[in-house]
Amino acid sequence: MICTVTLNPAFDKTVTVKDLIPHEVNVIIEVRFDPGGKGINVSRVLKELGDENRCLGIIGGDTGKFIKSYLEDRGIITDFVMVSQPTRTNLTIVDIGDPPETKMNELGPIVTEEIILELEKKILDALCYSKFFVFAGSLPRGCPHNTYCRLIDLVERRGATAILDTRDEALVEGIKSRPFMIKPNRSELGDILGRKMESEQDIINACKEFREKGIKVVVTSLGKDGAIMVCDDGVFKALPPSIESDSAVGAGDSLVAGICAGIQRKLPLSECLKLGVACGTATAMTPGTSLCTRADVERILSMVRIEKLE
């Protein structure tokens, strides 16, 4: 079983308007509510693919209760730390006359050392039934930059595999724990290394630098151009079919979920990448914060091409 850990989840509210006019009254023609946060999205996609998983993290207030109920109603096991402050609300405004969407994200609750210690206890309990953890998303206020490093060390010292999907200082510090896999996108890769990723070879060289730090698998998402994986088996690029993209929200999380599902099924890593890109592509076809469907993933999977670059 895979466990996802989301420290800063969100209550996602998506509103659709036609021809948004700033500083005027705009009529909302559609509203959608979803649980959000990178780890929670990974759990949702894993469940859609038929892979059992458990969702851990920190939630609070009515927005947190919504997330818990939503996941459990769909058969996802949860074990959240409950806090007094409400889970943040993220607002996405979709203008059908002028894409892409506009996002407005709250900061979320302040997390104390006591809350992190409580989460650690739940992670230790989860180690009884899972040796595969996905740590994903931003850190909430109050968490030191090395929080993911600390949590990854906690599980890896006990023989578990950890995947990290975050950015900025949380990624810089998290890498020090040498997780099994990281998944930056092209711009995040450039930001952390302090140089532009102008070519495919630049990306490959950067991924190899992280491999030298002890990370076994480095995946860089390239949006509509697919993804590159550098691992013990070599360097692979997954090329998705051309699609009509509706929203990129959650596509990277879906990529991670597909790779995790493939690893759990003991597929070759190149096939894990193929499944991940199929999931990300299928999610890009859905509106707003909607995620992929299993039917779309299965249909797209046969159209994803894998190239071995080196």
Q: What is the pLDDT of residues 186-242, one digit of tens each?
A: 888 888 888 889 899 999 999 999 999 999 999 999 988 999 999 999 999 999 998
Q: With 0-12 CB in 10 A as exposed, 13-18 as middle and 19+ as buried, what is 99?
A: exposed
Q: 213 by DSSP, 3-state: which?
A: coil
The Cα 173–Cα 175 span in angstroms is: 5
**Model confidence band, residue 243 (pLDDT cutoffs 50, 70, 90):** confident
What is the pLDDT, as a whole number, of residue 246?
64
The Cα 33–Cα 13 span in angstroms is: 5
- What is the average pLDDT across 243-251? 74
Tokens of 93: 């405004």
Phi, then psi, of 47 in degrees rounded to 5: -65, -40
Instruction: Name the strand (E) or helix (H) holding 82.
Output: strand 77-83
Q: Which domain holds residue 213?
A: 2-21+28-308
Residues, the chain? 310
CATH at residue 76: 3.40.1190.20
pTM of this structure: 0.93
Q: 41 by DSSP, 3-state: which?
A: helix
pLDDT 10s digits, 276-310: 999 999 998 887 678 999 999 999 999 999 999 87
Q: 66 by DSSP, 3-state: which?
A: helix
**Do 200 and 236 form a contact (C-beta atoms < 8 A)?**
no
Total domain count, the chain: 1
The Cα 210–Cα 226 span in angstroms is: 20
Q: Which residue, 245, 299, 254, is CA-closest to 273?
A: 254
Active centre residues (catalytic): 253
